[in-house]
Structure 1
Amino acid sequence: MGIMGCCSDFLQRVKPYVAMISLQFGYAGMNIISKVSLNHGMSHYVLVVYRHAFATLSIAPFALILERKVRPKITFSIFVQIFVLGLLGPVIDQNFYYAGLKFTSPTFSCAMSNILPAMTFVMAVLCRMEKVDLKKIRCQAKVVGTVVTVAGAMLMTLYKGPIMEMVWTKHVHPHRSSAPETTDSSDKDWLKGSMFLIVATLAWAALFVLQAVTLKQYSAQLSLTTLICFMGTLQAIAVTLVMEHKPSAWSIGWDMNLLAAAYAGIVTSSIAYYVQGLVIQSRGPVFASAFSPLMMIIVAIMGSFILAENIYLGGVLGAVLIVVGLYSVLWGKYKEHKENKKSKVMSLPLTLKNSEGNGEGMDIKDEDEKGKKANSMNLSTSDDRSTIKVRFPIPEIPMKVEAPNA
């Protein structure tokens, strides 16, 4: 029984770690598969439509069954917020992200996505959802981390540098050095793709801020995710009809395009939301966000093997700055969370009273409250700070008067 208990306790402790590492592999696979699909000519507008259609169909049954009794009513205000959330996430964020992915690389796109916590922090401060006191170290860490993260993103955007030769790339792609030099047009595409990724990250950060407000009024998370994906699908269809005039762009078969849409919709838009929500609920958002740089490392290795993509010095230096700034922000948030928990514990009342009908009670008082005389017996134990007094009422003993014998 002891061995089984230890194994069960160990599995419970490693579950959050296994879940978050598995999610990072899922996100990395989405970037690689989507990049291959976009390189084969699939429109990113159509990919967004199919992705969120798959996401809606996969998560809607769970929302209908599991939240049928706790689902709040949709008011006009909540409908407007869901409409904006669908516009920010599925439409703006995903379209700009896929456009940036098409012009850059999966490794670069993942690295740029790591500035999301910093952008979310800035928007939360502007919306007065986050307080900043520069006299405290944790607030200084959040501000400095935000600046360093943005600096890393700008370095990756404006500077490429020489190609970095990795150990495994020399054996996998020995003839890559004979490739033609980067042209001016590719540099322009790289800059344009970087701008697209920054806009996508801004939209995703705004979605987080607005979603935090919406969840206070509409607490059914599965239902809210379903509605966002469904609304985003309708809006993405409207955008695609405007931007894509060829009917052939909608054609999809049993190929990489279908795999990219289904994988991105089911794995990274439905399962990921649910698993990440469970981990955040048990271990907090700081724990969940700390694993995001792992995706960049996985994509860099997979991209160099599968896509033979180049890794530049500017990307490596910028990625290092982004990771350092990210963990500085997360450290500040972690310290803030600990201080909030400590302040809640310290604010507990110092007087506990448990009164019943029989008149018994227990009072916790300071040393200064001494000398009170009452018809009771006091048992006290004191130290340098406080005195604990337990009062027991003394019952009255009736007097019997017996008449003398005659």
Structure 2
Amino acid sequence: MKKLSIITTCFIVLLYLGGCKEDLGISKPLVNDGAAPGLVSGVSVTNRPGTAKIVYQIPGDNDLSYIKAEYEIRPGVFREVKSSKTNDSLIVDGFGQAKEYQVKLYAVDNGENKSDPVIVTVNPTLPPVITILNSLNLISDFGGVGVVTNNPTGAEVAVVMVEKVANGSDKTLNTFYTRSKNEVFNIRGYKPEPVVFGAYVRDKFGNVSDMIYKEVTPIEEVRLDRFLFSAPLFPNDMKSFDEGSWGVAKIWDNSTWSGFHSIYDDPTILFPQWVSINLGVKAQLSRFKLFQRTADESFIFSHFNIRTFEIWGSNNPSPDGNWDNWVFMGRFESIKPSGLPVGQNTAEDRAKANDGEDYTMPIGSPAVSYIRIKALSNWSGGGFLQIMEAQFWGNLQ
């Protein structure tokens, strides 16, 4: 019994005081030996846009914890990057110019003792804020200006748009945040009169490009007259189950209570499904708006409302409806603001469905007199197609 008591006492000491010498895998406080680790060695540098990759050999100290880089990206602005002892490289970033920068590399041990610095010179190439600005294009757009960006590295940047006003100062219009390699932004709401727009680029490190200016004359934009629309009803267009109440013409009757509703009792009919509209004029489309069926809460971003689709255009469609004289003009998707599963709607979801969903046509789309809405899917995942209302804007030719 006395032997058992001794073992029990030792076990308790092991748990709470870490005694009895036997290692039970319990973490022990780190010991600071006060000695700095060795230096990194064998350093090489690969320079990249606004960044540099530094490869090195780590010192052989048993208590090494990590490698740290310290450097200045702008006067008085310093950055620090750490890399685990299991890595043989790190990335230094945030540079706003293509020039030489000094980087100090330290080896740091478990006691936070750090080695003397190893000075490394890096020469990052042109950073994204400069390359994006150099390729940025301001072009005439419907009701304003189009901002065409090229961001080959996919850097996180902000494109800030301004207008040069009468007193010569800059009025900030909007800030567009992006990491897309190619993107087009739009500033609208202007008359077709010359306007001097400006733009500059900034990144998450606080680097800011120069400003560029360009005088742009916005293109006049009008809403197309729905009273000129008609339904050509080509042989291969999707038919309605009731042309009188749910035919193609209901798409532009200025009511979201009824709309187009395709045949739903034929199991052989699959997507894609399309309908054609004669606009009654030749126009370069700038944007359009589609409305869902919202008569019941359960229909919103659900049911058979259109989800992914394409717009095609023509000026001389074949009477048999074939696609020979049709031109692809863009692919679009209905986006639910909340991102919630089908059947779960927020107030924002309901508002967007009721207000209609806005889509922008690609800049430079051809002027056409006929369009086709080619549905690729609906919100239910199959079955028939519904489009309650459509509105179109553009420049008449």
| TM-score, reference length from structure 2 | 0.19
Higher relative contact order (CA 8 A, sep 6+): 1
Rg larger for: 2
Higher strand share: 2
